[in-house]
Amino acid sequence: MITRRNLLSLSVIAGIGGLFERNKAIAADDATIKAAPAAAANPPASYVPVHTLNGWTLPHRFHAGAKEFHLVAEEIEHEFAPGSKAKCWGYNGTTPGPTLEAVEGDRVRIFVTNRLGEPTSVHWHGLYLPSGMDGVSGLSQPHIKPGETFVYEFTLKQHGTHMYHPHADEMVQMAVGMMGMFIIHPRAGEPRQIDRDYCFLLHNWALHPGTYRPDPSIMTEFDLWTMNSKVFPAIEPLVARTGERVRIRIGNLSMHEHPMHLHGVQFFVTGGDGGRWPEGLWRSEVTEVVGVGQMRDLEFVAIPGDWAFHCHKSHHTMNAMGHGIPNVVGVDQAGVEKDIRALLPGYMAMGRYGMSEHSGHLAMGMLEGPPNTLPMMTGEGPFGAIEMGGMFTVLKVRDDLARSDYRDPGWYVNPPGTVARKVSTDPDFGTPVRRQSGARSAPAPMPDMPGMSHGNHSG
């Protein structure tokens, strides 16, 4: 008898079988690396170019039977968001470095010039290639010394979401921003057409308050949590037209795993470290953990609205000033904090009512943080303060976007009657069922502050 469960297992087995066959074929073919036979035989299907949030795709040229790219490892000045800059290392002027984009079967030739003060190398994370092209300095190749240029050359035997990063003095070089995405499209085209294809890398930085150079020695306590080396509110929104099929490709080269949560839809996880999964292996989720060194592809059909997309670890959606501060929630600190700050410049504690107070005080200029340091939470939405930082952005889906339009369409105009609204200002309103309450009376009302406005943006 065929039950739903049987069908599911069969499709999973078929999926795993497919993966196994593919890996066997790649392994068999690996012995002979030739100049792109597949590329010559079958012209690639057209694809939608990947869109790197806040980033860019490296141009290439065709030369001597290969697509040629040129990466330059170098120090750069990088802005995480207005108000916080740092000396970072990256490729071709940016962190992350530019996205490399090619098609399964392509022969690629990648020059790497080292303009750093120490040796480096580039590892192509997740790719089938000859061992000597794998980029582990000392193991698979000599170090690329300062001023030298090396060339890597191999044929792309797979498609999927991949990454590149140094494999030399890794702790330092990755901590200060050296990484990038390597996107390979399937030669035969997508089984289901993708209308928008986004990619980004997750990372963490120890840019301590008041400093300008990320600290590579930190292992767990970071100050900034980034998507493509930017924090909210500087992370660009993901934009789509209603009904479009959207793919978000995520890589993680930070020191923590990140449960990435998308509001408004259940997405399918359609690929990972092993490339794109057969459809029988797709699973429906609203939060997907992207582990350290892993990649994940998420796919969904866009529904109109403004939808939050963020890491679900709440400390990863805050910026530098929210970490390691004294907890004095519930304590009346009227006047005290100012006195302490006269003795300890930059001192900041929790507010009496929580951290919202501080975003208000910062907005009013009553509080000034250390130089080059972002407030813990920030960002202004149509209804007031968004109170986020770090790994947070917005998916903006609209009915009337042009296919190739990736510009920020502004805030969503909600249809009339579809926005949560105030019905009372009395804390004793209604007859709610409550088990126990410590408070004898309602708390003193929180003072009104800018950024806590009660605007109404509904239609």
Q: By the criterion CB under 5 A, which residues form the site for Cu ion?
A: 258, 311, 313, 316
Phi-psi domain of 181 (left: phi exceeds 0; alpha: psi -120 through 50; beta: other): beta
Return the number of the residue (231 or 311) whose C-beta is nearest Cu ion: 311
Of 154 and 222, nearer to Cu ion (C-beta) is: 222
Secondary structure (3-state) at 62: strand
Which amino acid belongs to residue 139? L
Q: How far is the CB of 59 from Cu ion (least distance, A)?
A: 32
Q: Cβ 292 to Cu ion, closest distance in Å?
A: 11
Q: What angle do CA 211, 216, 220 make, to 5 degrees?
A: 100
Q: How far is the CB of 254 from Cu ion (least distance, A)?
A: 8
Residue closer to Cu ion (CB basis): 230 or 316: 316
Query: DSSP letters along 241-259, please?
Result: ETT-EEEEEEEE-SSS-EE
What is the smallest separation between the CB atom of 310 and Cu ion, expressed in angstroms? 8
Measured distance between the N- and C-terminal CA atoms of the chain, rounded to whole angstroms: 54
Using alpha carbons only, give the angle 235, 300, 401 rounded to the nearest 5 degrees: 65
Which one, 196 or 316, has the nearer CB to Cu ion?
316
CA neighbor of 226 nearest in space, from 248, 200, 247: 200
Report d(CA 424, CA 427) in Å as an integer: 8
Q: What whole-number distance in Å separates Cα of residue 335 and Cα of residue 252? A: 44
User: What's the chain's length in residues?
Assistant: 459
Cβ nearer to Cu ion, comparing 313 with 352 = 313
Structure tokens at 221: 């306590």
Question: Which CB atom, from 208 or from 316, has the smaller least distance to Cu ion?
Answer: 316
**Closest approach of Cu ion to the CB of residue 78, in Å:** 20
CB of 177 to Cu ion, least distance (A): 18
Q: How many CB atoms lie within 10 A of CB 23?
A: 14
